[in-house]
Chain A
Amino acid sequence: MPKLVLFVTRRLPASIEALAEQQFEARLTPSDVAITGLAAKAAGADAVLCCPGDMLDEKTIAALPDSVKVIGTFSVGYDHIDVAAVKARGIRLCNTPDVLSVATAECAMLLILAAARRAGEGERLIRSGHWQGWAPTQLLGTQVSGRRLGIFGMGRIGREIARMALGFGMEIHYRDMTRLPPDLEQGAIFHDNDDSFLPICQVLSLNAPGGEGTRHWLNKERISMLPPGAVVVNAARGTLIDDAALIDALRNGQIAAAGLDVYNGEPRLDPGYLTLENIVLLPHLGSATTETRDAMGRIVLAGIGAVLAGETPSNLLT
């Protein structure tokens, strides 16, 4: 029996491309650019494996050949895919849940520590060759240990961050729609409203999903409710932040420092961020460990394979 055809929209880690070729007749795309003309390129394919940045809007999905039975996305998020349109065509969709929670939480913790301890400024000073030596007042940051951490969105990633932060003796608070059961809450303090939540956030970590419901959640008004000198990090979605308001607060010192992995309109982020000293910037690499990308590839390929074999994989979205 011939192998089923999988069209891959982008270059993937070599180990995953090898696995795809082993399991499918894989049509690989050695490119890092978002796919265009998907319908023609996917002609005759049984499955499509896409990535964030590939815009699978209603029109693109409508044009897909009838041969396509399943789409996999190499991501946990799927705001680049019109899910209703996929469903309407009877195509199945799977993603890579769970496997990137730990890597993303590591990234958020890195941003908290690096922003609070002014890592970027230290790096730039030392690489410039102008370091004049140790001084007790040089580049003093904010201590992370023992601070209050507020987590906005206590899903899997938020809970991983909470676990890591406990090792730093932090007091954990979280804001979400519903309270977690005690075994997941692990002593963290629940807030059902912003008014009680924001003033305690000496460190605020955004870990909520994107979309219209949370669009620009961290705006000027909410920033003004944070304690002075707070540290803000975002390893979730760029849309959670009103960039102009955050840049203002970083300039006037209302927020001491920020760490960002995600941006509105990435990779064309607001240039106002690029000239700030009190910010640590990462190019959306929250899940970028070899181990995690490998696991993501394996789970999405397994999902695609299962759908094509008539099974229901655990990572099926629709």
Chain B
Amino acid sequence: LRLSKPRLLLAYLTTANVIARACAEFDAIVTAGPGDMTVAEVTRAAAAHRAEAILFTNTLPLTAAAIAGLPDTVRVGATSSVGYDHIDVAAAKARGVMMTNTPGVLDECTADHAMMLLLSAARRGAEYDRIMRKGWRYRIGQGDLLGVRVTGKRVGILGMGRIGRAFAQRARGFDMKILYHGRSRLPADLEQGAEYYADFHAMLPHCDFLSIHAPGGAATERLIDARALSLLPNGAVLVNVARGSLVDEEALLAALTSGKLFAAGLDVFRSEPDFDMRFAALENVVLSPHVGSGSVETRDAMGFRALDNIAAVLSGRPAIDPLWAIDPL
């Protein structure tokens, strides 16, 4: 039995609710800002505080070298994100530092955001908003500035995990026909009538809309390339709330400029925040700054889930969302 609270380093800027809970349940030191802590700052602060746990997000690149530099007191690192391509999990495991993420709590929010981008891209929401803020003041002809209808169309989903399925649920409310590609076919209760394509490229000619919900990484690198885009029907709409690495941005820019694609809705980019500003010069894209999980409720839930993981590990229980499996004794 320990009487003192476990020592936590809260290394990223987060919501007031998460900070309050971290400070109530832990002996926590919190980043002073203005930004999230760098690796050097985390290393220094963790050593000074003799931190047992670090709570961070995908702004902290925990490479093998960074993990090697952490003090021995650190037993768990929790990222407030689903993605963990910023963590060298093997290096963490080799040092015996448990790493956890926050799956499950942001599915609904991210699916909402994908549907927002889909509707806004199809119905030219961002372009219309710019017209308004310039004052409007003119009549728009009945044949002008028309969008494309969403209801009743076909949507292809690349990656039918939890977020892809939550997105499919929303699309069904618009009477959309759901097609999907993933590594394997889902059981019927999860598929809910969606049509499976084992071959991603065979699905594309049937997609009036294509929404990306697959993870990043080498296996999906530039899956959306010039060939994939050329296979879509003319006037298709692309939505990406997953990872920028899945898209060949030169090919996407070409397809948006040529009119091959009607529009795109993008929340993620190959490079962030210094994304390719040529996208910002296009009228037929809707852009958002990687805020797929950006609701107060969801960001709270992500931070809480990360704190739950830390509390579990530090009290000797298994992590809820371990990124490396503990070897059986």
Contact = CB atoms under 8 A, between A and B. Distances in A.
Interface of A: 10-14, 16, 32-34, 51, 53, 74, 102-103, 105-107, 109-110, 113-114, 116-120, 122-123, 125-127, 129, 131-146, 163-169, 266-269, 271, 273-274, 280-285, 288-293, 296-297
Interface in B151-185: 151-152, 169-174
A117 B116 contact: yes
Interface residues of B, number: 72
A164 B152 CA distance: 12
- Of B111, B115, B124, chain A has the most CB atoms within 10 Å of the CB of B115
27 contacts: A11-B143, A12-B142, A16-B143, A32-B140, A51-B142, A110-B119, A113-B116, A117-B291, A123-B286, A123-B287, A129-B280, A134-B59, A135-B12, A141-B291, A143-B296, A143-B298, A167-B170, A167-B171, A169-B108, A266-B136, A267-B136, A274-B133, A283-B128, A283-B132, A283-B140, A285-B140, A288-B147
Contacts of A14: 143
Given A123-B287, A123-B288, A167-B171, A117 B139 contact: no
A34 B139 contact: yes
A114 B273 contact: no
Interface string B56-82: 011100000000000000000000100
Interface string B287-300: 11111001111110
A109 B176 CA distance: 15
B13 interface: yes
Contact of A143 (B57, B108, B138, B174): B108
Nearest to A142: B295
A37 B10 CA distance: 71
Contacts of A123: 126, 129, 286-288
A201 B118 CA distance: 25
B137 interface: yes
B143 A141 contact: no
Q: What 6 pairs between A and B have smallest CB-CB spacing?
A: A167-B173, A13-B143, A281-B132, A113-B116, A133-B273, A110-B119
B12 A126 contact: no
Contacts of B291: 117-118, 122, 138-141
Interface in B1-54: 12-15, 35-36
